[in-house]
Structure 1
Amino acid sequence: KSGDVLTLECTSLAFGGRGVCKLPGGFVVFCDRAVPGETLEARVTSLKGGGRFAEATKVSSISPCEHRTAAPCPHFERCGGCTWQDIAYAHQLTMKRDQVVDVMTRVAKVDQTRVQNIVGDCVPSDKTERYRNKMEFAFGPGANGRGVVIGLRPSGNHSDLVEIGNPDGCLLQHPVADEVLRGCRAHLDSNGNSSLLDAFNRRTGEGVLRSLTVRVAVDENGETIAAVDIAAATRGDDEDAALRGLAEAIAKVRGVASSGGGDADGEGWSGEDVEVLSGAATLPMKLRGVTFALSAPSFFQTNTDQAEKLVAAVEDACGFSGDGTEVVLDLFCGVGTLGLCVAKKAKHVFGWEVVPEAVKDAERNAEANGITNATFRRGDLAKLKASLPGPDIVIADPARAGMDESLVKVLRSIGAERIVYVSCNPATQARDLLRLKGGDGGEGARYDVRYCTPVDMFPHTPHVETVVVLDRI
């Protein structure tokens, strides 16, 4: 029952990184931070599936697995962001590949005799610390409800806050982002945590400061710069003046922008009412020779060095002939990241996106880089496909939820020779691969999974990005 402390042996990993542990009789317990080969004590937090299995959190390790190592971050036990930080990095890569192999066989139904040859080794990150170009922090009330602290929410916990701003910072973010946190912290402290800049309270709707997003880049002069978004609730003139004072106090910042009100719960940032408080609202991010103008909250790969490897893997996966004759359809193109990077090898790139602001950004990025063979559209792809030339290659990079079943049907009706499917969630990707293979029936082209390249974009976490190549049968 919930609250029981059990002695468990972890035998494997479930997708997402939780350890799979079995009690005598076969009862399964999914345990956070458990690693195959480890014997541990864990506290049951809940029963699931009508009591068929349980979830638990690790209390202590009785017999650690051979791949355990000391976690370098002082916030490791409480933060919940880097759940694999105490596992040797080489073994992290092995576990990530194993998870991809598991979903490819179990969900995508790739034959077990082929899957080991199809799934390549996980591409390692050159940096395992200080690799993130973007971090999002929350503001919260200080001790006894007084003052303001800056930190991260523990996994699955929206009320507690692990203070990060002082003194150690976060080992994942760039040192310049640590300077931003320290500057923000120092200004709030020097003003006695003025009530004009209280942390936003979700329950009461009072307060101003909601979140702090820091994005770091290197400018054209080789200088490290940052853009900062201070998400703030609706405020009056006095609060607005105090917020501008905070913006001006943060050191080494190219631009500071306030993202406006959001909803009553402090959520719902839309990017529609960005107010520049100091400097510029965007900064340049360069990827494979293409420069993208981004605001602090814009979507962009957060591991810049690994993004180079990811885009290189996508470019290789496209299999360009070299004569510049291929037409590419870039689905979920966002600000044009993948499409603009491969445009130099294509006859034309057609980007498709549902977010109108992203389409505008993609068009601006193409113009700024002198790329003339890229066109970006939004709307219903099923209706748009009639106005598009038949693509030779489709690149798809959907959100974690994967592709809607109706979109898979459209892709099969388009019938491109090759699909390059990029995913940050191999489980939903595997579901879509089965559909593209024709495993659920339906009309249109059928595809064969040729190979899969896992890329480690997030060291010390269970997350893995995958690039899968499918060819029309």
Structure 2
Amino acid sequence: MPKPPKKQFDGKRRKKAKDDKTKANGFDEVLQADIEQLIKQNRPEQDDSSSPSPVSLPETFTEIDVTISDISSTGDGLALSENKDHVYVVPFTVPGDKVRVKVVRHFPALSYSATDFLSVIEAGPTRKDELIGCKYFSKCSGCQLQMMSYEDQLAHKRRIVEKAYANFSGLIPELVPAIDETFPSPLQYGYRTKLTPHFAQPQHKKSEDGEQPQGTNVPAIGFTYKGRRMDLDIEDCPLGTDVVRQGLKSERKRVAANISSYKRGATLLMRESTSRFPKDAPTDGSEIKEISGMVSTPGADSGDVIRIERENYVEEKRCITDNNATSVEYVDDYVFGNKAGAFFQNNNSILSGFTEFIRSHALPAGNDKDPRPIKYLLDAYSGSGLFTITLSPIFKSSLGVDVAGDSIISARENARANNLPSTGFAAADAAVLFKDVPYPADQTLLVIDPPRKGCSEDFLEQLLSFKPRRVVYVSCNVHTQARDVAVMVQGDESKNVRYEIESIRGFDFFPQTGHVEGVAILNRVEFPPKTEESA
């Protein structure tokens, strides 16, 4: 076996802001990496002895015309200043766009200025405004990419993953395999099974003398304006599923009718819940039994119902509005109950292909011929059991662990509903997550799906001590994933454990937005024995 480099990082790990003040004044590691790279690629060659010329910036709230050079990993366009030493960050744009913007704020120490998008003067070659499917686009902060073809969106998200590993892993390129093409979502609109619009504290009307209250104004109910601390009134969101969109309209009417009862602002919930009934259900008015026996909480919805006839059953979809009520979701024939306000993936249309991809890559090639094959599944950050349950049939035994007790209760109910007796769940303290795992590490697949902040240093140390044979790392933040994967690749020589990356692929859970999820698959390898030369 060839000797691995003694130092597997190339020193490119991103520097964090020097202090909290810098963070509070526009610092975003991901955006900053893209800005610095764009300036570096276009910086004119200068005599080292000459001092850089001072940056001359327009007054704030000035309107200027700029041409977009690139799209950042945050979804915003990047335009170089005339001197190519400063960047204007412009939302809702694509490369080649010549646009008019309003300069909002300068961050000279970070070499960029934030702007508001005003209009397109000349469209870039990939801009397709006819594809925009929402009247709030270019105002709402929710979407960034509706003016791009879906093929271009997928290609852009592949570049996001590539840049994440280039900028945030610190790994030399030879240790990172080519990033696979982004896995597409079957639906590009109408896919979101959960929306959470909000509104600010209602303002009471007063009489002309300013003393007696005369009712209450209905505030904007929706999402935040892009780049502003203001709410945009959203009557409809085309990203939502049909029943969620109906639920949004119903909830807006309910809030308006009862606005005087709200003493402060609130966040609303619209969550799709699905029931399946047999086609041959009785029509005499007798009770119809749901196929899985798992149903959403009665009376906890908006009152909207959509019925869809499938080949072998009838689906009934409702919009749950109570965070603590039970919502039900199907992934193929697997059924999942969950607290409606708790985390569960929000794009059901991609979950069948996504879980099948994980299932088909859970075991290494030739596992069936291995004298000690992988046959146990450990799912850390298991939540209500999406991966534990959909992967369990290919393992002898499966265990999901999570620090959230409520999620474990839901996961156990889901295991019973799916008739999986060899699948268990346990609430575990984060500090001793691997302590009581009953499986031999060299026959165990570890699946991890942490929150956006990624894995803690303590978790990664526990992982390297446990030494699972194979790891599937699912992430909603490919930048923290790249950082954590690098720790695993670096390994721990004292424990004789490190990992090699088998593959990395992005998944488009949120079309029209700049967000991409990532799946990295890694295999445990040993450090080569030391020789006199390496000692």
Q: Same fold (TM over 0.5)?
A: yes
Structure 2 vs 1, CA of residues 143 and 97 (structure 1 numbering), >3 Å: closer, same or farther?
A: farther
Structure 2 partner of 1:64: 123
CA distance in 2, matches of 1:468, 1:446: 15
- 1:104 maps to which of 161, 165, 168: 165
Tell me, yes or no, if the aligned pair for 2:374 and 2:445 is still in contact at 8 Å. Answer: no
The residue type equivalent to 2:155 in the other structure is T
Tell me how far apart the structure 2 counterparts of residues 360 and 197 of structure 1 sit (CA, whole Å). Answer: 34
* 8 Å Cα contact 2:182/2:507 also seen in 1: yes
Does residue 22 of structure 1 match 2:80?
yes
Residue 396 of structure 1 corresponds to 448
The yes-or-no answer on 1:216 pairing with 2:279 is no
Which of the two has higher C-alpha Rg? 2
Aligned to 1:201: 264
Structure 1 range deviating more: 424-433 or 72-81: 72-81
Provide the rounded CA distance (Å) in 2 between the counterparts of 1:30 and 1:248: 41
CA distance, structure 2, for counterparts of residue 98 and residue 215 of structure 1: 32
Aligned pair partner of 2:335 in 291, 294, 313: 291
Question: In structure 2, do the counterparts of structure 1 residues 427 and 373 end up closer, same or farther at CA, with 3 Å as the change threshold?
Answer: same
Structure 1 contact 132–174 (Cα < 8 Å) conserved: yes
> Partner of 1:106: helix, strand, or coil?
helix
Contact kept, 8 Å, 2:492 with 2:498, in 1: the verdict is no
* Further displaced range: 52-61 or 250-259: 250-259
Other-structure match for 2:25: none
Residue by residue over 1:153-182, the C-alpha shift from the partner in whole angstroms, topping out at 9 and shown as x without a partner, is 234545x332223xxx21011122222233
SS at match of 1:219: strand
Match status 1:31 vs 2:80: no
Letter in 2 for 1:437: V
Q: Given residue 464 of structure 1, which amino acid in structure 2 is its aligned partner?
A: V
Which secondary structure state, in structure 1, belongs to the residue aligned with residue 196 of structure 2?
strand
**What is the Cα deviation at residue 426 of structure 1?**
0.5
2:99 and 2:261 map into 1 onto residues whose CA distance is 44
Matched, 1:181 2:239: no
Deviation at residue 228 of structure 1 after TM alignment: 9.6
CA contact (8 A) 1:313 1:467 kept: no
Match runs of 1:135-146 below 5 Å: 135-140=195-200, 141=202, 146=217
Is residue 423 of structure 2 the alignment partner of residue 374 of structure 1? yes
Partner residue, 2:29: none
Instruction: Provide the C-alpha distance between the structure 2 equivalents of 1:131 and 1:306, rounded to a whole number of angstroms.
Output: 9
Quote the Cα distance in structure 1 between the aligned partners of 2:507 and 2:149.
17
The structure 1 residue matched to 2:232, chosen from 151, 162, 165, is 162
Task: Write the letter of the residue equivalent to 2:349.
Answer: D
Quick one: which amino acid aligns to residue 162 of structure 1?
A: L
CA shift, 1:301, in A, is 0.8
Distance in structure 2 (CA, Å) of the matches to 1:361 and 1:194: 33
Of residues 121-130 and 441-450 in structure 1, the stretch that sits farther from structure 2 once superposed is 441-450
Partner residue, 2:149: 88
Q: Structure 1, residues 274-300: CA drift from partner, whole Å, max 9, x if none?
A: 4xxxxxx32321114321112321211
Question: 1:465 matched to which residue of 2?
Answer: 517
Residue 434 of structure 1: which of 477, 486, 491 is its match?
486
CA contact 2:199–2:220 (8 Å) conserved in 1: yes
Deviation for aligned residue 1:330: 0.6
Taking the aligned partners of 1:21 and 1:222, their CA distance within structure 2 comes to 57
Q: Counterpart of 1:361 in 2: which secondary structure?
A: helix
Match for residue 328 of structure 1?
377
Unmatched runs of 5 consecutive residues or more in structure 1? 203-209, 230-243, 260-273, 275-280
SS at match of 1:318: coil
Residue 180 of structure 2 corresponds to 120
SS of equivalent residue, structure 1 residue 220: strand
Aligned-residue identity in percent:
24
What SS does structure 2 have at the residue aligned with 1:386? Answer: coil
Tell me whether 456-465 or 295-304 shows the greater mean CA deviation: 295-304
Displacement after TM superposition at 1:121 (Å) = 0.6
> Which stretches in structure 2 are left out of the alignment for 5+ residues?
1-58, 206-215, 280-289, 306-316, 526-535
Q: Match of 1:251, as an amino acid?
A: D
Q: Which moved more, 1:146-155 or 1:71-80?
A: 146-155
CA distance in structure 2 between the partners assigned to 1:406 and 1:8 by the alignment: 46
Match for residue 11 of structure 1? 69
Give the secondary-structure state (helix, strand or coil) at the position aligned to 1:459.
coil
Counterpart amino acid of residue 234 in structure 2: I
Alpha carbons of 1:150 and 1:413: their partners in 2 closer, same or farther (altered >3 Å)? same
User: What do you get for the CA RMSD once the two structures are aligned?
Assistant: 3.1
Q: Is the counterpart of residue 421 in structure 1 residue 473 in structure 2?
A: yes
Distance 2:492 2:374 in 1: 33
TM-score (norm 2): 0.71
2:424 aligned with 1:357:
no
Native 8 Å contact 2:76 2:91 kept in 1: yes
**What are the Cα deviations for residues 309-343 of structure 1, in whole angstroms up to 9, with x where unaligned?**
22122112212646985111111110011111100
Aligned match of 1:235: none
Distance change in 2, residues 1:385/1:195 (3 Å): closer
CA separation of 1:175 and 1:288: change in aligned 2, threshold 3 A: closer
Query: Contact 1:282–1:296 at 8 Å: present in 2 too?
Result: yes
Tell me whether 1:73 sits opposite 2:123 in the alignment. Answer: no
Structure 1: distance between partners of 2:237 and 2:70: 30
Counterpart code for 2:217? R
Checking the alignment, whether the CA contact within 8 Å between 2:269 and 2:321 is kept in structure 1 is: no
Q: Is the 8 A contact 1:413 1:444 kept in 2?
A: no
Question: What TM-score comes out, normalization by structure 1 length?
Answer: 0.80
In the TM superposition, what whole-angstrom CA distance separates every residue of 1:402-425 from its partner, at most 9, and x where no partner exists?
A: 001111111111111211100111
**CA 1:370–1:249 in 2, change beyond 3 Å: closer, same or farther?**
closer
Matched residue, 1:241: none
Over residues 385-411 of structure 1, what are the superposed CA-to-partner deviations in whole Å (9 max), with x where a residue is unaligned? 232123421111001110011111111
The equivalent of 1:53 in structure 2 is: 112
- Contact 1:322/1:345 (<8 A) preserved: no
Q: Is 1:151 paired with 2:222?
A: yes
Q: Confirm or deny: 8 A CA contact 2:183 2:506 kept in the other structure.
A: yes
- C-alpha separation between the residues in 2 aligned to 1:222 and 1:127? 26
Asked if structure 2 preserves the Cα contact closer than 8 Å seen for 1:41 and 1:60, the reply is yes
Q: Which amino acid aligns with 1:212?
A: L
Distance 1:177 1:142 in 2: 28
- 1:432 deviates by 0.6
